[in-house]
C-alpha cells in the first residue's frame, strides 16, 4: 500500500484516508484501545507542564482530544489545533461546541511538514499518532523544533511495536487481523485499518525515534512506554 507512496502522493493518501474515517474515528479508537487512549493523551499533555509561557500547538489534532487535554492542563494558554485532514477538523469543530476548554482552542488547517508559523512561536508542541504517517519524519520533527520556544517541550505519542514476551504474538494477531475486521464492520473502511498496523510495522523503534529527535536539535530526549508497550510517549526540549 503506502510502502510505494512517497512525498506528496503519500500525504494525499493519508489526508484523504483520515477525512474518510473521521466520523467513526473516536468510536474506533475507543474500541481498539478499550478506552485507554484518553489516559495516554492526558499523560502526553501533562509532559508539557514545564514549558515556558506562550501558546501551545497540537499537530494532527484529529477530532481534538489532545488539544482539549492541553487546554485543561494549561488553563491560561491558547491552544492551536492543526490538521491537514479537513474531515477531521469538521468533526473536531462539532465536538467542541459547548465545551468550556474549547473556547481557548483555535482549529486550523496546516501541513506538519511546512508549518505556517513563525520560528519560536509556541511554548510546547504535541502530536498523537502523527509521526508514522509523515512522508518525511525528520522534516516533521525539524518543523516541530523550529516553531518551539527555547525550553519548550516537544511531545509525541505514537503506536509502537510491542516487544513484551508472550504478549507480542497475541497483539500482532489482534492488530493485523481483528482490527481490520472491526474497521470494516464498524468504521466501514478496511483499507484504513489495514494501513494502521502496516504503518506501525514500518515505523522506527523508540530508540531510533529518540535519535532522530536529537538529530534535529532536541535536548534531553526521553520516552516512556504505555499500554503494555503498545504506545510510547517521547519528550524533547527545544
Q: Are strands 105-109 and 79-83 parallel, antiparallel or unpaired?
A: parallel
Q: What dotted CATH number matches 2-163+205-237?
A: 3.40.50.150
Residues 6+ apart with CB under 8 A from 225: 160, 206, 231, 232
Residue 6 confidence (pLDDT): 57
Residues 6+ apart with CB under 8 A from 174: none
Backbone angles phi, psi at 193, to 5 degrees: -90, 0
Residue 189 confidence (pLDDT): 87
Could you give the CA distance from residue 30 to residue 51 in angstroms, rounded to a whole number?
Answer: 29
Global pTM reads 0.92
- Whether residue 126 contacts residue 156, with contact meaning beta carbons closer than 8 Å, is answered with yes
Task: Tell me how many degrees the CA angle 80-82-83 measures, rounded to the nearest 5.
Answer: 170
pLDDT tens, the chain, 238 aa long: 445 555 678 888 888 999 999 999 899 999 989 899 999 999 999 999 999 999 999 999 999 999 999 999 999 999 999 999 999 999 999 999 989 989 999 999 999 999 999 999 999 999 999 999 999 999 999 999 999 999 999 999 999 887 777 777 888 888 888 888 988 888 788 998 898 889 899 999 999 999 999 999 999 999 999 998 899 999 999 9
Residue 175 confidence (pLDDT): 85
DSSP secondary structure string, 116-161? -S-TT-EEEEEEES-GGG-S-HHHHHHHHHHTEEEEEEEEEEEE--
Q: Residue 1: how many CB atoms within 10 A of its CB? A: 10
Residue 4 confidence (pLDDT): 54
Closest CA to 69 of 221, 238, 233: 233
Residue 7 confidence (pLDDT): 62
Amino acid at each position: 500500500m503506502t510502502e510505494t507512496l512517497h512525498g506528496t502522493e503519500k500525504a494525499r493518501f493519508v489526508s484523504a484516508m483520515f477525512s474518510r474515517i473521521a466520523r467513526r474515528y473516536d468510536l474506533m479508537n475507543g474500541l481498539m484501545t478499550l478506552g485507554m487512549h484518553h489516559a495516554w493523551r492526558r499523560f502526553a499533555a501533562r509532559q508539557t507542564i514545564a514549558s515556558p509561557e506562550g501558546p501551545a500547538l497540537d499537530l494532527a489534532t484529529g477530532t481534538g482530544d489532545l488539544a482539549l487535554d492541553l487546554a485543561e492542563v494549561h488553563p491560561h494558554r491558547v491552544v492551536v489545533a492543526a490538521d491537514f485532514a479537513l474531515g477531521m477538523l469538521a468533526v473536531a469543530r462539532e465536538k467542541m461546541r459547548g465545551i468550556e476548554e474549547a473556547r481557548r482552542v483555535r482549529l486550523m488547517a496546516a501541513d506538519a511538514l511546512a508549518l505556517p508559523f513563525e520560528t519560536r512561536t509556541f511554548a510546547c508542541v504535541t502530536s498523537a499518532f502523527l509521526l508514522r504517517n509523515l512522508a518525511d519524519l525528520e522534516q516533521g520533527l525539524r518543523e516541530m523544533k523550529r516553531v518551539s520556544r527555547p525550553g519548550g517541550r516537544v511531545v509525541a505519542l505514537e503506536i509502537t511495536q510491542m516487544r513484551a514476551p508472550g504478549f507480542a504474538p497475541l497483539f500482532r494477531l489482534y492488530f493485523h487481523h481483528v482490527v481490520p475486521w472491526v474497521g470494516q464492520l464498524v468504521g466501514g473502511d478496511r483499507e484504513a485499518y489495514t494501513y494502521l498496523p502496516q504503518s506501525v510495522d514500518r515505523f522506527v523503534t523508540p530508540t531510533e525515534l529518540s535519535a532522530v529527535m536529537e538529530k534535529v536539535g532536541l535536548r534531553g530526549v526521553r520516552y516512556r512506554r504505555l499500554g503494555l508497550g503498545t504506545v510510547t510517549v517521547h519528550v524533547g526540549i527545544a
